[in-house]
Structure 1
Amino acid sequence: MDDHSKIVMEAARAADRDRYLSALYAPEDRRPALLALYAFNAEIAAVRDRIREPLPGEVRLQWWRDVIAAGTAQAASGHPVAEALVEAISANNLPQAAFQNYLDARIFDLYDDPMPSRNDLEGYCGETAGAIIQLASLALDPSTAPAFANLAGHAGCAQAITGLLRLLPLHRARGQCFVPRDILSAVGSSPEEFITGDGGAGVAGALAAMIALADEHLSAFERGAPGLPVSLRPAYLPVALTRAYLNRLRRIGTKALTDHADVAAWYRHAILFRRAARGWKPNHLT
């Protein structure tokens, strides 16, 4: 493994342990592409934390658009993750449009505008987490992956909504609200109320609604997951942890506003190993 590959692997491991561990279950020759995708995702997710104003963030996203469109290591300017991503796109014939749509969706992260509706949230999740799953699937088995695009959408929504709930303390500190306005309105709250103080009287209802939405997509994924071929399994392994995270969120309730809902490392390893070895069975229990 060369130095650039080690840098990319470490970037994925440090920023996104769940996806990193999942990539280790992929065939050895497929791992570099998955790690490049996961390191890229982590890099973009961290843009908000590295800026003070949205405009520099938009400039950074445009840089990534240009690098991907150019498709050359020279355009990547010695950036190890960008070089690895360009190589993965070229070697696996990954669709550039998916990356452009992903970057367009990530513009939302740079601003404090509230998420307008459930449909907008699902669209955001599909273009981000769902796209990463589908791109990883294409890198693993390009002939089979397209048949499971709808399943990737449900998996991405379940994973991303759960991830947003786990990041509530960070988002509220920033003044961001990913909980859709229509969901908050239904429980008698608003984005402005949700991100301040104790979240207001409707906070428990809003959290329950978001957990239910994630569970709805997770259940849809789990109904189709037994049909996943072994070749695509590594791309979907991170989603295997979603039910454990949702159960944790249910247990801590409104403490999710201030506490990071985590699951013990040994339990996460056990879940990933079980799904990697056995896949998903009908009516499985996690």
Structure 2
Amino acid sequence: MTFSSFDHARDIVYAQDRDRYLAGLFAAEEARGGLWALYAFNAEIARVRDVIRDPLPGEVRLQWWRDFLQGTEHGDAAANPVADALGQTIRTYKLPVKALTDMIDARVFDLYDDGMPTLHDLEGYCGETVSALFQLGALVLNKGEDAGTADVAGHAGVAYGLCGLMRALPWHAARGQMYLPADLLARHGVDTQTVFKGESSPELKAALAELRGHARHHLGRVRQKIAEVPARAAAVFLPLALVEPMLSKMDAKDFDPLRGSAELSQLKRQWILWRAARKSGVSL
């Protein structure tokens, strides 16, 4: 069997986004390739900061993806298997290119050490990156037809995104990058430089407790409407089942947000996703 661009995309998702990979296995087999393409594209633009030393080369990498999506790529896009798989997915499911270019534009923030101004800005960032991925994935699983999941995807992306950024706080702080919004930090009197030094504080823990409250608010909004999601598109939202267990680990009084880990074991994540799939009535 020939190793295809979709196989390459699948391997990237398996290596870099294991939870979405596992959730994708509950999707209809014929639609998984489209999910792998989307998730691999997301992984590629999300890791640009990790593979460059200065923002300019990162801007160039992101611009290549913009050019590709706008049909003005430099060179043969088929030579990039992720781009090839993504292009086929866009055409097959008639995906909105603007949503993908907005994802790229939002990722420019990752390249710099500028602070996130407000909670509203942070929710907007999560919306343009994570929420968009939920919505595009739902389109793929619903065979290119609107599944009526825009509202659910919006809240899902903020809940999942906030949880992910809190999990990544030690890593981001170590490289002098701050996603926690400035208005939230100021409200609780958090010293950013202390965070960058890896020193936790009661003020930081209070700020994060408030942020977990916001994540749970959006998670609650998802729960109110998740039953409206067509069964064939439900697999896209399965990773949300991991959010509350991770938030609960962060709730522990002795949890150090700069040195502790809110990660769940691989076996537990798989069991949570399997149980969520059973409850959601995922249609294969």
Question: TM tier, shorter chain?
Answer: over 0.9
> Are 1:181 and 1:191, in contact at CA under 8 Å, matched by a contact in 2?
no
Match of 1:56 in 2: 57
> Are 1:237 and 1:272, in contact at CA under 8 Å, matched by a contact in 2?
yes
Q: Which 5+ residue runs of structure 1 have no aligned equivalent? A: 281-286
> Are 1:204 and 1:254, in contact at CA under 8 Å, matched by a contact in 2?
no
CA positional deviation for 1:29:
0.7
Match of 2:2 in 1: 2
Q: Does 1:207 align with 2:208?
A: yes
Q: Between Structure 1 and Structure 2, how many residues are aligned?
A: 279
Deviations 1:236-278 (A, max 9, x none): 1111211111112212755121233111222211221122222
Match of 1:143 in 2: 145
Q: How does 1:68-87 map to 2 (within 5 A)?
A: 68-70=69-71, 75-87=76-88
CA positional deviation for 1:209:
1.3
CA positional deviation for 1:140:
1.1
Task: Identify if the C-alpha distance between structure 1 residues 74 and 139 changes in structure 2 by more than 3 Å, giving closer, same or farther.
Answer: farther
Task: Identify if the C-alpha distance between structure 1 residues 28 and 252 changes in structure 2 by more than 3 Å, giving closer, same or farther.
Answer: farther
> Are 1:130 and 1:155, in contact at CA under 8 Å, matched by a contact in 2?
yes
CA distance in 2 between counterparts of 1:87 and 1:71 reads 16
Higher relative contact order (CA 8 A, sep 6+): 2
Q: Does 1:259 align with 2:260?
A: yes
Deviations 1:10-46 (A, max 9, x none): 1100000000011111111100000111111111111
Task: Identify if the C-alpha distance between structure 1 residues 252 and 201 changes in structure 2 by more than 3 Å, giving closer, same or farther.
Answer: closer
> Are 2:122 and 2:179, in contact at CA under 8 Å, matched by a contact in 1?
yes
CA distance in 2 between counterparts of 1:50 and 1:175 reads 16
User: What is the root-mean-square deviation of aligned Cα atoms in Å?
Assistant: 1.9
CA positional deviation for 1:228:
1.8
CA distance in 2 between counterparts of 1:62 and 1:256 reads 34
Match of 1:162 in 2: 163
Match of 1:188, SS state, is coil
CA distance in 2 between counterparts of 1:9 and 1:131 reads 19
CA distance in 2 between counterparts of 1:107 and 1:217 reads 25
Match of 2:127 in 1: 126
> Are 1:167 and 1:260, in contact at CA under 8 Å, matched by a contact in 2?
no
CA positional deviation for 1:279:
0.8
Match of 2:111 in 1: 110
> Are 1:72 and 1:86, in contact at CA under 8 Å, matched by a contact in 2?
no
Q: Which 5+ residue runs of structure 2 have no aligned equivalent? A: none
> Are 1:248 and 1:261, in contact at CA under 8 Å, matched by a contact in 2?
yes
CA distance in 2 between counterparts of 1:41 and 1:252 reads 34
Match of 1:32, SS state, is helix
CA positional deviation for 1:70:
1.2
CA distance in 2 between counterparts of 1:9 and 1:273 reads 20
Match of 1:12 in 2: 13
CA distance in 1 between counterparts of 2:23 and 2:127 reads 20
CA distance in 2 between counterparts of 1:136 and 1:253 reads 37
CA distance in 2 between counterparts of 1:26 and 1:96 reads 23
Identity percentage of aligned residues: 42
Q: Bigger CA drift: 2-11 or 117-126?
A: 2-11
CA distance in 1 between counterparts of 2:153 and 2:133 reads 9
Taking structure 1 as the reference length, the TM-score comes to: 0.92
Q: Bigger CA drift: 6-15 or 246-255?
A: 246-255
CA distance in 2 between counterparts of 1:276 and 1:66 reads 37
CA positional deviation for 1:77:
4.8
Task: Identify if the C-alpha distance between structure 1 residues 73 and 241 changes in structure 2 by more than 3 Å, giving closer, same or farther.
Answer: farther
Match of 1:27 in 2: 28
> Are 1:204 and 1:253, in contact at CA under 8 Å, matched by a contact in 2?
no
Match of 2:257, SS state, is helix
> Are 1:181 and 1:190, in contact at CA under 8 Å, matched by a contact in 2?
no
Match of 1:250 in 2: 251
